[in-house]
Amino acid sequence: MNKYFLAIDIGASSGRHIVGWCENGKISLKEIYRFDNKQIEKDGHLLWDMDNLWNGIINGLKAAKAADMIPETVAIDTWAVDYVLLDKNDEIVGDAYAYRDKRTVGIDEELKKYISEEELYERTGIQKQLFNTAYQLLALKKEKAEEIEAAETMLLLPDYFNFRLTGVKKQEYTNATSTNLINAKTKTWDMDIIKRLGLPEKLFGELSMPGSTVGDFLDEIAQMVGFSAKVILPATHDTGSAFLAVPASDDNSVYLSSGTWSLLGIENSEPITGEEARKENFTNEGGAWYRYRFLKNIMGLWIIQSIRRELNGSEYVEGRKSRYVSGREWSFTDLREEAQKYEAFESVIDVNSDEFLSPLSMIDAIKEHCIKSRQKVPTEVGEIMQCVYKGLAASYAKAVEKIEEITNKKITGIHIIGGGCQDIYLDELTAKATGLPVYAGPIEGTAIGNLVVQMISAGIFEDLSAARKAIFESFDIEKFI
């Protein structure tokens, strides 16, 4: 009988339960459950709907039982930086803020009082993003200091859900690096920075690596879902899992995890924390087996997802209405095809501009951007989409160029994984903009990376190299030149 493993992969818009197993040396996948993830608005803040997320996790486990695909191990990955604080009774203190919440606007000026941006980057290697956990905690300390004072534990979201399943608290290394509080050289919490920021040291405990066992399901969870399983740590940061799934054959390829965010970069054995890398806003995220992802965070398909929501009349959060409802239901394929009709439209947006992070209207933000940059303002859906597509391809090309300059490597190709690799038009534009061959696939990169850590832990694969070879042989990879 097959040994099953379950990846619970939760992104900013949805979560999926994907069962994986090995047969004749190849990896097989089956999605058994999917649920929506949403942000809610409360008192002017954006929050995660934690009850919805927890119910999604439990219902997916029940679906595994119903499908008769009971896993030996289970592992959860999510996006980075967001956290909960727990009090002495292990109850959540305050709210689970979403990283797009605006409470951190301007908080970088507060942080500079304690440590310069240059020193912070040199020590942590993490790019400046106002939603990094360090900035979030500083904003909370300024706005609601009593919540930090009441906290006994800080857990990033996947660590929290692991705790709910097992009763065991562990802080996983790869996701912890996204906090801006891990020393890139010592690979542990930088307690000097933590003290300078006035954050309680007790919130930052021992770090655990991917492949570590968290624990077995609590009895109440096993009763609820109909089986018991062991919870394993993957690279709980979804980008960390996604990069593990890249079937690259050499060290001179860049990896692009394409989803809500586009994460483009290379793997290194050591962090690059010099001033040139800081000025270009590259980051050094920690990976499994202490591999560093030297990469650029690019706004990604979030812009396209937001446009689609507006056109279809769905709300980004409760209470926000779109004035661009078109009277038809737009699919991502529809939007791509419409963009292709307007290839001659020349306006291009800078997709990394902060105005696209969380606008009330993404379409209005694009139009205003074009006005400010003195470009022709798009009016048709296809023109709007063409601005975005060209902007994404241009940002990828610029990032590749900067990686070559900083690392002195000659990049030979781009491996695109994740849902965005299915967008063949973007794949083609990326190949054209960079002048490099583009290899698209596998689609379920994050879930596959999550699963291979479980499979290596179970002895199915000897190491990552063996797992990547199996990935290459198991999934379709399309080439664009």
Q: Which residues pair with 48 in a beta bridge?
A: 39
Residue type, 208: S
Distance between CA atoms of residues 190 and 183, nearest Å: 5
What residues are labeled active site? 238
With CA atoms as reference, report the closest residue to 94 among 86, 104, 105.
Answer: 86
The rounded distance, in Å, linking the Cα atoms of 97 and 47 is 4
- 3-state SS record for the chain: CCCCEEEEEECCCEEEEEEEEEECCEEEEEEEEEEECCEEEECCEEEECHHHHHHHHHHHHHHHHHCCCCCCEEEEEECCCCEEEECCCCCEECCCECCCCHHHCCHHHHHCCCCCHHHHHHHHCCCCCCCCHHHHHHHHHHHCHHHHHHCCEEEEHHHHHHHHHHCCCCEEHHHHHHHCCECCCCCCECHHHHHHCCCCHHHCCCEECCCCEEEECCHHHHHHHCCCCEEECCCCEHHHHHHHCCCCCCCCEEEEEECCCEEEEEEECCCCCCHHHHHCCCEEEECHHHCEEEEEEECCCHHHHHHHHHHHCCCCCCCCCCCCCCCCCCCHHHHHHHHHCCCCCCCCCCCCCHHHCCCCCHHHHHHHHHHHCCCCCCCCHHHHHHHHHHHHHHHHHHHHHHHHHHHCCCCCEEEEECHHHHCHHHHHHHHHHHCCCEEECCCCHHHHHHHHHHHHHCCCCCCHHHHHHHHHHHCCCEEEC
How many other C-beta atoms lie within 10 A of the C-beta of residue 26?
Answer: 12
Q: At what angle do helices 302-312 and 381-407 cross, to 10 degrees?
A: 170
Residue 367 — φ and ψ, nearest 5°? -65, -45
Query: Rounded CA gap, 119 and 196, in Å?
Result: 12
Residue that the structure tokens 């890139």 belong to: 184
